[in-house]
């Protein structure tokens, strides 16, 4: 059975990340594990403080787990409290999981919860779904996926197609080829702004087989000369989800991916999924 790990904060109120994970798990026959991490990295904390924080966190998480079981009685739900570095503990908890689901505030960007979401998208051993605060970024319609024709982008396309088909919504595949201008350049670089046949072939190869596996799925294609980190959030504004692929675990591949995936996670125009190929 697949396992979905959900990072749970101590903030009271609704938790869209849990809701998203429960809905996804119900269609995958998957289990859900709620994880809360008591952050002890900010400085020296007395032992009695940590013990009190752990007890309160366990009580809070137990209530969350009970509410999740009531909301999705057919889905196995467990809960665990850890202490230490939230990012490190969540990365460790996600080993062997199919997905790590976290909540984030789009205004956080590179601070607080926003920074944690960006780091988790880069470091987690599995695919990561980042769910924004619902009253700030309401759920939209349609699924957008970024594709570059690489093998690494194919799992992202499949994930996006499967989700769009399940929700009976359209899928939009975006191929953007723009590159950042070299530092110190005094004159703009002239590049093609109109798609050529090779660009259309890249998208067609990425979508090969989708129509046969999902015959009722409506697919749109957008080809853009803009940089991916610009084109993807623009296309995903008002969408249900934006899906991007991860190019691997090496330092170089993370650097190549970083400018795109980390930018869209920080921008958070809607729920964002960073999909890694199964190792």
Residue 142: both structure tokens together: 């349609």
Tally of CB atoms within 10 A around 167: 14
Q: CA nearest 114: which of 265, 269, 272?
A: 265
- Please, which pLDDT band fits residue 248 given cuts at 50, 70 and 90? very low
Instruction: Tell me which DSSP letter residue 207 carries.
Output: T
Among all chains, which residue has been given the structure tokens 């079981």? 69
Please name the CATH architecture into which domain 143-275 falls.
Answer: 3-Layer(aba) Sandwich (3.40)
Residue 165: both structure tokens together: 């088909």
Residue 135: both structure tokens together: 């009253």
Asked if the domains at 3-132 and 143-275 fall in one CATH topology, the answer is yes
- Which pTM value belongs to this model? 0.86
Scanning 101-172, the segments in alpha helix (DSSP H) are 113-123, 154-167
Q: Please give the average per-residue pLDDT across 261-273, as a whole number.
A: 87
For 227, the enclosing helix (H) or strand (E) is none
Q: Where are the domains of the chain?
A: 3-132, 143-275
Q: What is the pLDDT of residue 110?
A: 43
Q: What is the CATH number of domain 3-132?
A: 3.40.50.620
């Amino acid at each position: 059975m697949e396992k979905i790990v959900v990072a749970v904060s101590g903030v009271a109120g609704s938790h869209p990340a849990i809701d998203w994970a429960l809905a996804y798990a119900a269609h995958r026959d998957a289990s859900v594990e709620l994880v809360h991490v008591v952050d002890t990295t900010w400085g020296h904390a007395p032992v009695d403080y940590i013990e009190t924080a752990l007890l309160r966190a366990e009580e809070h998480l137990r209530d969350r787990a009970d509410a999740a079981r009531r909301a999705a009685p057919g889905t196995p739900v467990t809960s665990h409290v850890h202490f230490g570095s939230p990012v490190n503990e969540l990365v460790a908890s996600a080993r062997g999981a199919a997905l790590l689901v976290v909540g984030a505030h789009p205004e956080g960007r590179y601070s607080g919860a926003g920074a944690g979401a960006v780091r988790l998208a880069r470091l987690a051993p599995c695919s990561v779904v980042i769910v924004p605060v619902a009253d700030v970024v309401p759920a939209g319609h349609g699924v957008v996926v970024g594709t570059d024709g690489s093998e690494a982008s194919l799992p992202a396309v499949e994930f996006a197609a499967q989700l769009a088909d399940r929700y009976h919504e359209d899928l939009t595949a975006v191929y953007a080829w723009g590159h950042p201008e070299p530092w110190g350049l005094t004159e703009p670089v002239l590049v093609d702004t109109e798609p050529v046949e090779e660009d259309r072939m890249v998208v067609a190869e990425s979508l090969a087989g989708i129509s046969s596996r999902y015959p009722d799925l409506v697919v749109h294609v957008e080809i853009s000369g803009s940089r991916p980190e610009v084109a993807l959030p623009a296309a995903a504004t008002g969408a249900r989800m934006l899906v991007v692929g991860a190019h691997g675990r090496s330092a170089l591949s993370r650097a190549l991916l970083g400018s795109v995936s980390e930018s869209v996670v920080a921008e958070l125009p809607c729920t964002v999924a960073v999909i890694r190929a199964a190792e």
